[in-house]
Amino acid sequence: MADQQAFFDLLDIMESEKAVEPKRFFALMRSTFHIANMIYADVELLSRGFRIHRIHHTFDTSLVEAYLVSDSGCIDAVLKMPSSDVRPIDLGEARRRYPEALFQAALYFGHPAEGVILPLSAPTRRCARLMIQADMPAAEWTAYRRLHLRDFQLLANLFHASLLESDERRLDPLPDAIALTNRETEVLGWAAAGKSYWEIATILGITERTVRFFMTNARRKLNVVSNTQAVAQAVRQSLIPVS
């Protein structure tokens, strides 16, 4: 059985780090719970088959490649389980319900037969699953699953959420789009302090027209229409200090 302190240590890592690399997550899970293999898949569902968004695993690469070029990739029922089907499913049950599926492919290569498939929340027309395989007798696995299923699902959800959040950060245009000059930052800073254009011009030793020029550029870069919005956005993005 897994050490409970080891579980809490792993939970602390998952909750404190913004993103946990798949290889690191798998290694931590395997060492904590003494499980054999894992495979995580996030795919876009098509009318026939699916398109892989991301896939990570601990198997030999040839195993996954063999699956992807086989007919199983077109009829994978595990990936097409209804979104309402949110219950974890044991590999034994999956073998009976879905004889040709991504999460069963490993069995044809002599890998452990016991384990569980965990459903994960995904955007519309997407599907995500995490499979855990355990190298232990069926009777022992039943007790082990009962003890650790809640831990498995919680950690899988945190891992999956970190990957989705990393996608959102890459799509967020603000960090890359905002590149204020020193003068634009200074002008915004004094505007935040309540200074008028004339006062800012006097403080910085430039013309009022130049102040307006810098403020206009700052508004454009921050994608706002007023000076008040520009100051608020700059504060939110930590581009100017909060007084």
The residues pairing with 43 across neighbouring beta strands, listed in sequence order, are 52, 127
> Which token pair is 222?
């921050």
Q: Let me know if domain 174-235 sits in CATH 1.10.10.10.
A: yes
Q: Report DSSP letters for 169-231, one per residue.
A: HHH--HHHH----HHHHHHHHHHHTT--HHHHHHHHTS-HHHHHHHHHHHHHHHT-SSHHHHH
Q: Domain residue spans in the chain? A: 4-171, 174-235
The superfamily in CATH containing domain 4-171 is Transcription factor LuxR-like, autoinducer-binding domain (3.30.450.80)
Flag whether pLDDT at 4 surpasses 60.
yes
- The least confident of 135-149, 155-169, 189-203 is 155-169
Q: Say what the pLDDT of residue 201 is.
A: 92
Does the pLDDT at position 63 exceed 90?
A: no
- CA gap 172, 187 in Å, rounded: 26
pTM for this entry: 0.63
Please provide the distance, in angstroms rounded to a whole number, between the alpha carbons at the two ends of the chain: 54
Give the pLDDT of residue 175: 47
- The residue-averaged pLDDT of 63-79 equals 59
pLDDT in tens, 88-146: 988 877 777 766 555 555 544 556 678 888 989 887 778 888 989 888 888 899 999 99
What's the confidence (pLDDT) of residue 174?
A: 46
Instruction: Report the pLDDT value the prediction gives residue 172, as an integer from 0 to 100.
Output: 53
pLDDT at 29: 93
What pLDDT is attached to residue 25? 92
Quickly list H helices, 17-132: 22-33, 61-68, 72-75, 91-97
Any idea what the Cα angle at residue 141 is, between residues 138 and 144, rounded to 5°?
160
Token look-up 């403080």 returns 203
